[in-house]
Structures are given as structure tokens and as C-alpha cells.
Structure 1
Amino acid sequence: MTAKATAMVCWLFVGSWTFASIFSYLGGHRVIEVWVVGMDLQVSFLTPPMAMSAYYLKEVLKKQIELMEIFRGIIPYLGTVIFCMFLMYQFPGITLWQPDYLFGKWIP
């Protein structure tokens, strides 16, 4: 069982590496860069410890923006995410109604 799970994870690594390599080779990173530069602020990957979107945006815009300005812009979106997480923890039915509807209730 452990070997199957490990093999599946390894195939995910191989697939993601292959996709990223082909995407980059075909110039996909330039498309993303132009798209992000055309926006005021990217909204995904906002939270620490990585906060990849903030660092990516800083690298794309270089001297045009400070990292703290990016983090200040993230705060309203992060507050919304934290509020939604609080609601999901307090009322799990909000999140679980669709899987329960589609697959039935799972009782361990």
C-alpha cells in the first residue's frame, strides 16, 4: 500500500515537472508575466510562509513597487480567506453539502 501511494506521488512530481518544462519552453512564463503586469495585484498564493505571488510580483515589477506595499494590498483578501475558514470550521455543512449530496455521507 505504501509503495502505491509513493508511486502516485512520484508520478505527480514527474507530471508537474514535465508540464512546467514544456510550459516554460513554449514561452508560457512570458504570457503569465504580461498578464500579471497588466493587473493591479495578483490574488492567489497570498499567505505565508511562501507568499509566492507577492515575491513573483515584486520580481516582475522590480523598482516600481515595494514588498510591504504588496503585503498591504493582500490584507483585505487575506481577511476574507480567514473569515471563510472560520465559517467552514464553525459550520462544516457549508463546505461538505456537495460531496455529501454527490457521494453520500461517509461514516467511519
Structure 2
Amino acid sequence: MAQGLAGNAADIDYHYDGAWQATPFPLTRPFPEWHLGLGTTYHESGTLWMGDNPQTSVTDSVGRFHHVSNAYVCDQSLFPTVGSVNPVLTGLTLAKQIAESL
């Protein structure tokens, strides 16, 4: 999917080890020790912005990309912030709302 959007695998960057990398996280490499403890997982959100202005937002108010035709986002990336420990139920509610609007 990412390669389809990027158009070329060489145009995809991955963020881990505190920097952008040209290759995905190696699946054969063990996760760091800090990743194993309870309460140390992260729920990234807010990586995309909803809004009416394509100059200041990535999607419109129903999660449709401004610059990619007929593609939608329906997950926590649209959240401005995470309001709880686990935002999955709120993300599912958002996905349901977007699906119903389609």
C-alpha cells in the first residue's frame, strides 16, 4: 500500500532508532527491552490533520485525502491527541462514522 501511494519503494522512509531509515524495521531484530514492559507501548496519533483547507490539512472532515482521489483514512492518525490510554474504541467509532458517510 505504501509503495502504491509513494509510486516507488525508494521514496518510502521509515522512522525508528530515532531517525528516518531507508529500509523497514528488520523483523529478525529483537525489540528493545523497554518495549517488553506493561504501560510502555505507544498509540501514535495526530500524524494527519483533518480540515477544509488542503494547504493546512491532509483530509477533509470525513477522512478523505485532499490530494489522493477516492482514498480515506479511518484510524487514530486523524486524532488531534490521544485522550486515553488506549484509543482503539474511539478509532473504531471514527471508522464506523466514515464508513457510514461513504
TM class by smaller structure: under 0.3
Q: Which has the higher contact order (CA 8 A, sep 6+)?
A: 2
- After TM superposition, the score normalised by the length of structure 1 is 0.24
Between Structure 1 and Structure 2, the one with more helix by share is: 1
Structure whose alpha-carbon radius of gyration is higher: 1
Between Structure 1 and Structure 2, the one with more strand by share is: 2
